[in-house]
Homo-oligomer: A and B are copies of this chain.
Amino acid sequence: MLSIRRRVHTDAARREAGTMRKRKRRPPRAKGKAAAGGRRPGRVRTPSELGENGMDLHQEEIAYQMAVRQREISVSEFFTKNRHLLGFDNPKKALLTTVKEAVDNSLDACEDAKIIPELKIDLRQIGEDRFRVAVEDNGPGIVKAQVPKVFGKLLYGSKFHTLKQARGQQGIGISAAGMYGQLTTGQPVRITSRIGPRKPAHYFEIRIDTQKNAPEIIRDEETAWDSPHGTRVEIELEGKYQKGRQSVESYLEQVSLANPHVRILYRDPEGEGVVLPRAANVLPREPREIKPHPYGVELGVLMQMLKTTGARHLKSFLTRDFSRVGSKVAREICARAGLSETAWPSRIAREESDKLSRAINSTKIMSPPTDCLSPIGEELILAALKKQIKAVFYEATSRAPSVYRGNPFLIEVGLAWGGPAAAAGDGDEDPLASLVRFANRVPLLYQQSACAITKAVIGTNWRAYGLAQARGALPSGPLTVMVHMASVWVPFTSESKEAIAHYPEIMKEVRLGLQDVGRKLKAFLSRRARIADAEKKKAYIEKYLPHIGAALRDILALRKPQEARVVRILTRVLEKSRKMD
């Protein structure tokens, strides 16, 4: 593929360059040969040899020659070569990533359409390293005209330009999965979609033209389908099926944990069916779009906004184009910046944006609105934890929203303690706590150690809450910690969305959430310990006071009734005292 494109484009470029200047065909290659044959390789001209010495004409030609070779690179080409950036590093991960992208898309679509989601995931092995992944939802379906672009074009989507919480963000995932499938098996992506019972279902086979980053429709026909509405996507790919912690099944279980309103039917490659039922029959609160919050809008972005705003005055620019900027705050910003409220935004963009930026950052502005976020909620986290984990203590907290770089976000923490491991006794060799991470209800399975959540969990002093914890490690014991970050924009450390970047604001919120549930865990453990203490106290009194009596009798040669009296009095005195000491 590469050589062909190169050839084709070199020709085109030559034609284009020809309009600039005439010259020999392929001069660089010819020159390379000469160099290899005769002189020492590459020893052409030192800087001192260059200059005003008649080689100028040639000199200019070089720049022109080089110009011919410059051309645009399509984003699909880029990601084909850099597929590891998208989570297609190896066949194992590719299989899971494909399922994940399709599931994310389906859930987002269902929730946008206010449909309680029901997903069917079907994995079939059709060759030694080849799988067919089919994901079907009961969502709203996709309008016929949009199908090719949604599945056949990278960086095409509805979420990127909105400030609103969603699973998908940048319109890469499902197209990239299709592209990977096509690259490794040559097979197109197969889509069936129906937007309502009165409309026919449409079946598509779509390939991606990576040179143009554009869909190529192989097949497009009406088809019979028994679902009244929904979408089914089928991708064939080179993959490897894996069991255990990073398996498709474990991934879907975590999806069910963070999405208690979803019902999942899964058929694994061995034909086993698994049903993950709902823990709740309600849709999450619908997240709303918001305008950007002034904090964290960088200078360059601010200038761009000033230039392209529809507002005619600085003050109305501030109130209309940002969230949480009312008249009073806008006035304060203008005053701090020393700018007139009626100044023209485009003039400020050129000359005084720096001042404005500083004024914004030194003015106290309310946190962004929170209805752009859709938390799972403490109640549902508890329900989901109880459904999936056997423990003796459950706790959850849903923090108030906060902001990093102008993006609102919110942290939720769930915790389950006890269960079979705890019953086994206070062994010193407790296993490490298990940590389950979510971003916008999507489980994060890889790169745990690189994630801000993990760092915050490790950085929390769990000993203060009654747990064992080695330096630089997760706490140990029969503990499951679940952390969910909901945000209009989750800052992943890579496009494969595996770990959250270490923003201090995010770390802080996670820590506060952990401390919240940690304190409650401590209260629970203290209560347990107090009960144990009271029992111990009673036992101590029964065990040891008689020996005090006996010793005093021996030393002082007391009589039996005197000894008994000593023990009786001591028992009463100690039982009265509330504490152990």
Interface residue ranges, A against B (CB under 8 Å)? 1-9, 20, 28-29, 31-32, 35-36, 40-47, 50-52, 56-57, 59-60, 62-64, 66-67, 69-75, 77-78, 81-82, 84-85, 89, 109, 111-116, 118, 138, 140-143, 145-146, 149-150, 153, 155-158, 160-163, 170-171, 182-186, 195-199, 210, 228-229, 281-286, 288-289, 291-292, 297-305, 308-310, 321-322, 353-354, 371, 489, 491-495, 501
* B70:A149 contact, CB within 8 angstroms: yes
* B163:A2 contact, CB within 8 angstroms: yes
* A74:B155 contact, CB within 8 angstroms: yes
Chain A to chain B contacts (Cβ below 8 Å), 10 pairs: A1-B302, A4-B308, A6-B289, A20-B143, A43-B281, A44-B114, A62-B195, A63-B141, A71-B157, A78-B155
- Residue in B62, B186, B371 whose beta carbon sits within 8 Å of that of A299 in the complex: B186
Bound form: Cα–Cα A354–B43 in Å: 46
Closest CB of chain B to A492's CB: distance in Å? 8
Bound form: Cα–Cα A354–B284 in Å: 46
Q: Which residue of B lies closest to A185 (CB)?
A: B299
With a cutoff of 8 Å between Cβ atoms, the chain B residues found around residue A29 in the complex are: 288-289
Asked whether A84 and B309 contact (CB < 8 A) given A140-B66, A157-B70, the answer is no
* A67:B145 contact, CB within 8 angstroms: yes
Closest CB of chain B to A367's CB: distance in Å? 17
Closest CB of chain B to A5's CB: distance in Å? 6
With a cutoff of 8 Å between Cβ atoms, the chain B residues found around residue A8 in the complex are: 308
Q: Which 4 A-B pairs rank lowest in CB-CB distance, beginning with the nearest?
A: A42-B283, A41-B285, A69-B158, A183-B300
Closest CB of chain B to A352's CB: distance in Å? 11
Bound form: Cα–Cα A60–B60 in Å: 61
- Number of this chain's copies in the complex: 2
Q: Which of A81, A113, A354 has the most CB of B within 10 A?
A: A113
* B371:A36 contact, CB within 8 angstroms: yes
Q: Which residue of B lies closest to A181 (CB)?
A: B300
With a cutoff of 8 Å between Cβ atoms, the chain B residues found around residue A40 in the complex are: 282
- Residue in B114, B160, B199, B289 whose beta carbon sits within 8 Å of that of A73 in the complex: B160
Closest CB of chain B to A16's CB: distance in Å? 10
* B493:A161 contact, CB within 8 angstroms: no
Bound form: Cα–Cα A197–B111 in Å: 64
* A59:B300 contact, CB within 8 angstroms: no
- Residue in B28, B59, B70, B162 whose beta carbon sits within 8 Å of that of A197 in the complex: B59
With a cutoff of 8 Å between Cβ atoms, the chain B residues found around residue A321 in the complex are: 3-4
Q: Which of A150, A155, A161, A229 has the most CB of B within 10 A?
A: A161
Asked whether A52 and B9 contact (CB < 8 A) given A145-B67, A353-B186, A495-B85, the answer is no
Bound form: Cα–Cα A366–B51 in Å: 44
Bound form: Cα–Cα A119–B303 in Å: 33
Bound form: Cα–Cα A36–B371 in Å: 9
With a cutoff of 8 Å between Cβ atoms, the chain B residues found around residue A297 in the complex are: 1
With a cutoff of 8 Å between Cβ atoms, the chain B residues found around residue A322 in the complex are: 3
Q: A59-B229, A73-B171, A81-B160 are in contact. List 13 more A-B contacts (CB 8 A).
A: A4-B304, A6-B289, A20-B143, A32-B371, A42-B114, A50-B229, A59-B197, A63-B143, A66-B113, A71-B157, A72-B156, A182-B300, A186-B303
Bound form: Cα–Cα A84–B495 in Å: 10
